[in-house]
Structure 1
Amino acid sequence: MESTVKVKKVKSPFELKMQFFGLPLALLIFAIIYTMPTPEGLSYAGKMALGVFVTALTLWVTESIPNYAVSLLVIVALPLTGAWTEKQAMGVLGYEVIWLTFAAFIIASGMEKSGLAKRMALYLISKFGKSVNSILILLIIINFLIAFVVPSTTARAAMMFPIVLLVVEAFEVNINDPKNNFGKLLALHGIQANNLSTAAIVTATSSQILAISFIKDLTGHEVSWMEWFLASAPITILTLVSMFFIGKLLFKLPKSDSKTLDLGKIKDEYKKLGKMTINEKKALLIFTVTLVLWAMDSLQLKLFGFQLSLVMVALLSSALFFLPYVGILKWKEAKISWNLLIFACGAYAGGVALDETGLASWGLDIVFNKIGIENMSFVVLFAVIMFIASFSHILFTSKTVRTIILIPTIIGIANATGYNPVALALPAAFCIADTITLPPHSKVNLIYYGTGYFTVLEQMLYGILVLLAKWAILVIASVTWFKIIGIA
């Protein structure tokens, strides 16, 4: 079965117009920011970081210039404009996200070559894939379930990424075919189901653990695993349901794809695989070791006397795939997307510069000072804070940085207004992983962006609509569910 994932995509007339006008628009935006006076309270470096990031974002959205070329220009522009130093800009190549993305492609290559990922995908589809809808729902459920045992959004993306690619291959999706919306939905669901499911389990990412630590230290209220789950799981499930239907409305599938599928070919392909080969068993062993180490997290220290980080485990797994007798890959067989790695470098450099130059904190302070919180009712204040908590990831590329700034600030606002700080800070913590709108905002996004099945604009539109749905669900919960369980 031959994959068509790498076929060049044909742009629509609207995309061609955006591509034509994108470069002059980006240059105009940069010129305006460059020539305007530095706003009070913001450093010159912060202003230029904003100019570089917004200019790059415009080019990424319009695709006037290849994304990897834009990222290389970002690396040059940051020190050239005084936003960042040359050492800082070039040092992004050593960031964890770059190495993790690199390792993820090697792991995916090993799984693909072994045939194990193909076997798993064909089995799941032949067993449960009665329709496109059931396949999409199945992958959403799997993302939700593995959030219980794997404490990292990126680790879960590395696990699911090869499966998504093989599901796409199994259906022989053509990137220029209208049916490509299935591949588009699979990739975008991979991002959204991963990140959104994180909110249900406090241990699914370290930033959420940091958030409840702030809540305990600043309010005296200790949030247990079960209290978090009881409050957040219904919100997460309703959001995932909303995500499914919003995706179906945005990216319509042909009628034939929404009904029962003919799985005869899929079942035949699965039967042809026969018994597991030696390569499949090797890949299964390596992948199992990887999953166990990821899931163990701090337990490694107790059992082994040392602890391998998420990135180190991924690199160890990559090395095992290359080892003679143990592994199954040669270097030339590793399908590493170098253009994606360069894109990630520029995206992270631009995003981190926003944090380190103080631009993000400056913008947040302005927002809170201008909205007049002292005159707001609880529901209105709750709605405003949840909106900011969710969409602040557009400025803050780091979940940890957002947590450090947002949670203490929200607790301070609650204390100043006389409202229960837990009623505002805990639901805001449920928004920490809402990083689904643009590729640079999450390692998960960058991994799935490499499929080529969706544009930056498509991800942004889908992400914004889903986060607005989650925001509405949270606001409704503030006067219903959260009151019932005693946190409002």
Structure 2
Amino acid sequence: MSLSKDNIWKLLAPLVVMGVMLLIPVPDGMPPQAWHYFAVFVAMIVGMILEPIPATAISFIAVTICVIGSNYLLFDASELADPAFKASKQALKWGLAGFSSTTVWLVFGAFIFALGYEVTGLGRRIALFLVKFMGKRTLTLGYAIVIIDILLAPFTPSNTARTGGTVFPVIKNLPPLFKSFPNDPSARRIGGYLMWMMVISTSLSSSMFVTGAAPNVLGLEFVSKIAGVQISWLQWFLSFLPVGIILLIVAPWLSYVLYKPEVTHSAEVAAWAGGELKNMGRLSRKEWTLIGLVLLSLGLWVFGGKIINATAVGLLAVSLMLALHVVPWKDITRYNSAWNTLVNLATLVVMANGLTRSGFIDWFANTMSTHLEGFSPDATVIVLVLVLVLVLVLVLVLVLVLVLVLVLVLVFYFAHYLFASLSAHTATMLPVILAVGKGIPGVPMEQLCILLVLSIGIMGCLTPYATGPGVIIYGCGYVKSRDYWRLGAIFGVIYIAMLLLVGWPILAMWN
């Protein structure tokens, strides 16, 4: 296949960026291999953003380059001088380490669950069932769309597959029942509202569960490797639950107010969904089996954390699906999304770890600490205690820490306006934000880490290109560009405000 001019410059751009960075002198105090590695890392991010070839191929190539050039990219002079140190062996061990990551395999297991929903038809049945019983009014139909997405989210780590592949095919059939058509003035009759509700639903469900979106897992790996903070499946869920419940109640109603459809009652929708359910017939044995496995997995994830690892639960569920003939092995081998995500996450996890392995994160954190030590909470106490009472000093110190955390979270969140991929955004911005936070004395790293990773999903509502489902929904033609940007900005602010005003205080009480 011949390359277009557009693809040629996209291919060359990462190489040019890497070449320019390698020509720049190594910053003072930074290990040479850290700067060289950072040049490769930045080139990888540029490639993932431009995508001259698939993003997974970009990260795979980046790992290969680092393994082959490990003497210049990963290891320092003291390691290489040690006769017992086998650089090539250690580099290969490092390069393949991502494939042993428990969180990567947890996502893979959730993908196979998603395949089970698709193969058995259970996902479509759940969607039709809720539409049938909640679809008589447009407002309650909006709530149904959100609930459908949330029910599927724990076991569908691709929001594109979940919203775009399961929910969207059902919902897109509804507007024509009311003579509401895309790219037409009639789109506002009901189609625009229903499509926007899918944006609301996918952003909420993606943040509700660690397995709700693949970038969540990437975020967990970053906070683990860089900040040393471990976040469990249950801890993630409970941290977002208060915020999620409030937004689940408020967001559909507020969407109804801000983007009110002309059709407010929709008896035809319930009738259509009932007819589709009748055509599907009764629950099959495979569907009942899958329901049992879903309940078993949820039970073990919530209550069995001390007995069995969350990833082991996912692998157990996959094994039972195979043994009980819910999903045939040949379907798993053909499920490209699962294998693509497995390789993508495994390689990105390795590249993230390389920032620490090469010494870049330690240098960056120490540099930030040096430059910001004048703003250190401890230093502030020493100065203020000379002129203020101790209570006032402590209050000011607390405010300073809160402001620092607030700024870091907001910078990370609204930087997504610059990205067309949650994974690329997470891989680019999260290591930097974590390194800055780590380098500032007094910052509560566990709270900062949880707030950062919980914001990954909800930022997907900001723009039409913010995440995969958004591209699909915007592309169908029911929501005009100006409406999407307006609603995205409004709900983007509401989402992050709720996380900071409700979720953060609860986190602070727990910690």
Q: TM-score, normalised by structure 1?
A: 0.62
Tell me if structure 1 keeps the 8 A contact 2:121–2:287: yes
Decide whether aligned partners of structure 1 residues 50 and 260 sit closer, same or farther in structure 2, where only a CA change above 3 A counts. Answer: farther
> Tell me, what secondary structure is at the counterpart of 1:51?
helix
Matched, 1:77 2:65: yes
Tell me if structure 2 keeps the 8 A contact 1:390–1:431: no
Q: Which amino acid aligns with 1:122?
A: L
- Out of 180, 184, 192, which is 2:207 matched to? 192
Decide whether aligned partners of structure 1 residues 156 and 49 sit closer, same or farther in structure 2, where only a CA change above 3 A counts. Answer: farther
Match of 1:413 in 2: 442
Match of 1:33 in 2: 21
Cα distance in 1 for residues equivalent to 2:17 and 2:222:
34
> Tell me, what secondary structure is at the counterpart of 1:329?
coil
Q: Which amino acid aligns with 1:286?
A: L
RMSD: 5.6
Cα distance in 2 for residues equivalent to 1:18 and 1:238:
45
- Out of 112, 122, 125, which is 1:116 matched to? 122
Match of 1:284 in 2: 291
Matched, 1:384 2:386: no
Q: Size of the alignment, in residue pairs? A: 406
Match of 2:81 in 1: none
| Deviation digits for residues 319-365 of structure 1 (CA, Å, limit 9, x no counterpart) | 11111xx2322222235223333322332222221233232343333
Q: Which amino acid aligns with 1:24?
A: L
Decide whether aligned partners of structure 1 residues 158 and 317 sit closer, same or farther in structure 2, where only a CA change above 3 A counts. Answer: farther
Match of 2:79 in 1: none
Match of 1:328 in 2: 326
Q: Which amino acid aligns with 1:413?
A: G
| Deviation digits for residues 358-386 of structure 1 (CA, Å, limit 9, x no counterpart) | 32343333334434415687545522233
Q: Which amino acid aligns with 1:49?
A: Y
Tell me if structure 1 keeps the 8 A contact 2:127–2:148: no
Query: Kindly, what percent of the aligned residue pairs are identical?
Result: 17
Match of 2:343 in 1: 342
Q: Which amino acid aligns with 2:327?
A: L
Residues 92-131 of structure 1 correspond to what in structure 2 (within 5 A)?
92-129=98-135
| Deviation digits for residues 253-293 of structure 1 (CA, Å, limit 9, x no counterpart) | 99689996951322211232332222221222222222222
Match of 1:373 in 2: 375
The alpha carbon displacement at 1:30 in A equals 0.8
Decide whether aligned partners of structure 1 residues 291 and 471 sit closer, same or farther in structure 2, where only a CA change above 3 A counts. Answer: closer
Match of 2:316 in 1: 316
Cα distance in 1 for residues equivalent to 2:42 and 2:211:
26
Cα distance in 2 for residues equivalent to 1:241 and 1:41:
52
The alpha carbon displacement at 1:72 in A equals 2.1
Decide whether aligned partners of structure 1 residues 383 and 57 sit closer, same or farther in structure 2, where only a CA change above 3 A counts. Answer: same
Q: TM-score, normalised by structure 2?
A: 0.60
Q: Which amino acid aligns with 1:268?
A: G
Decide whether aligned partners of structure 1 residues 126 and 368 sit closer, same or farther in structure 2, where only a CA change above 3 A counts. Answer: farther
Tell me if structure 2 keeps the 8 A contact 1:34–1:48: yes
The alpha carbon displacement at 1:318 in A equals 0.9
Decide whether aligned partners of structure 1 residues 120 and 234 sit closer, same or farther in structure 2, where only a CA change above 3 A counts. Answer: closer
Decide whether aligned partners of structure 1 residues 327 and 475 sit closer, same or farther in structure 2, where only a CA change above 3 A counts. Answer: closer
* Structure 2 residue ranges without an equivalent (≥5): 75-90, 174-181, 184-190, 214-219, 381-395, 414-423, 460-466, 475-486
The alpha carbon displacement at 1:136 in A equals 6.0
Cα distance in 2 for residues equivalent to 1:342 and 1:234:
34
* Larger-gyration structure (1/2): 2
Cα distance in 2 for residues equivalent to 1:265 and 1:233:
33
Match of 2:92 in 1: 86
Decide whether aligned partners of structure 1 residues 387 and 254 sit closer, same or farther in structure 2, where only a CA change above 3 A counts. Answer: same
Cα distance in 2 for residues equivalent to 1:136 and 1:355:
45
The alpha carbon displacement at 1:73 in A equals 0.9
Match of 1:436 in 2: 456
Decide whether aligned partners of structure 1 residues 109 and 144 sit closer, same or farther in structure 2, where only a CA change above 3 A counts. Answer: closer
- Out of 37, 50, 57, which is 2:38 matched to? 50
Match of 1:13 in 2: none
Tell me if structure 1 keeps the 8 A contact 2:145–2:167: no
Decide whether aligned partners of structure 1 residues 236 and 66 sit closer, same or farther in structure 2, where only a CA change above 3 A counts. Answer: same
- Out of 9, 22, 27, which is 2:10 matched to? 22
Q: Which amino acid aligns with 1:171?
A: I
Tell me if structure 1 keeps the 8 A contact 2:14–2:47: yes
* Structure 1 residue ranges without an equivalent (≥5): 1-15, 147-153, 199-204, 215-224, 302-306, 415-423, 440-447, 456-461
Tell me if structure 1 keeps the 8 A contact 2:45–2:427: no
Tell me if structure 2 keeps the 8 A contact 1:392–1:402: no
Tell me if structure 1 keeps the 8 A contact 2:118–2:124: yes
The alpha carbon displacement at 1:232 in A equals 8.2
Decide whether aligned partners of structure 1 residues 317 and 383 sit closer, same or farther in structure 2, where only a CA change above 3 A counts. Answer: same
Residues 269-308 of structure 1 correspond to what in structure 2 (within 5 A)?
269-299=276-306, 301=307, 307=308
Tell me if structure 1 keeps the 8 A contact 2:116–2:326: yes
Match of 1:4 in 2: none
Match of 2:477 in 1: none
> Tell me, what secondary structure is at the counterpart of 2:27?
coil
